Amino acid sequence: MSLLAKHQIVNAHLLATADKGRPRSASLRRAVSTAYYAVFHAICAACADRLVGWRQPWTVYTPIFRAPDHYATTQALREPFLTAIPELQRLGLLLKELQSAREWADYNPEPRPNYRLGTNDTPFTRQEAMRLIDSAAEAISIIDRLDDDSRLKLATRLVPRTRKMNPLR
């Protein structure tokens, strides 16, 4: 796990456990968002490391690191080209769950993800936030264990701004 990703997970834990008694919604939301970004940054780093290399100058590393798009990444991780690799299929499922939670955390005023109007849905909980942080750490460990070929396939699918590709190729 990169130091940046590791520290983002640590920060997410700190945020989720910061409040004594009932947690503040703001703390749990920032924790979930931070955990999601730890995973997304780990994916970006895996792509840039594989295609460019960490030792290259920022001028060539950063554009590749910045290339993956959030929504396009979850979509690509559902295509057969990548889901044929079981680790990438699992990563895609985790990322989708985390991305949905992060969308709620950053943008949605309702008390929990997938809030149902007209019901007695309870507010988001500390334990749910901790579980999402744990799943983010799991996602990063999947990325860390990817072999060279899997990293190359992931990077070549996420980085180029191509016209619509045939997912079966």
Partner 1 sequence: MSQSRKDEQAEAVTKSTIARLFGANAIDRIDVFPTEDQAGEEGLSVTVFLKTDQENVSGARLLDTIVAVSEALRNIDDFRFPYVTFLGPGYEHAEDDARPAA
Residue ranges binding partner 1 (CB under 8 A)? 22-25, 28, 71, 89-90, 93-94, 96-97, 100, 103, 107, 109, 111-114, 116, 122-128, 131-138
Q: Which is nearer to partner 1, 21 or 57 (CB)?
A: 21
- Region of 145 (left: φ > 0; alpha: ψ -120 to 50; beta: rest) is alpha
Which is closer to partner 1, CB of 56 or CB of 75?
A: 75
Compute the least distance from the CB of residue 45 to partner 1, in Å.
20
Cα angle value 161/88/86 (rounded, 5°): 140
How far apart are CB 43 and partner 1 at their closest, in Å?
16
Name 69's Cβ contacts closer than 8 Å, sequence gap at least 6.
Answer: 158
Q: What's the token pair of residue 82?
A: 């990548």
Nearer to partner 1, 58 or 71 (CB): 71
Query: Least distance to partner 1 from the beta carbon of 96, Å?
Result: 6
Three-state SS sequence of 38-64: HHHHHHHHHHHHHHCCCCCCHHHHHHH
Specify the residue, 138 or 149, whose C-beta has the smaller distance to partner 1: 138
Residue 160 per-residue DSSP state: -
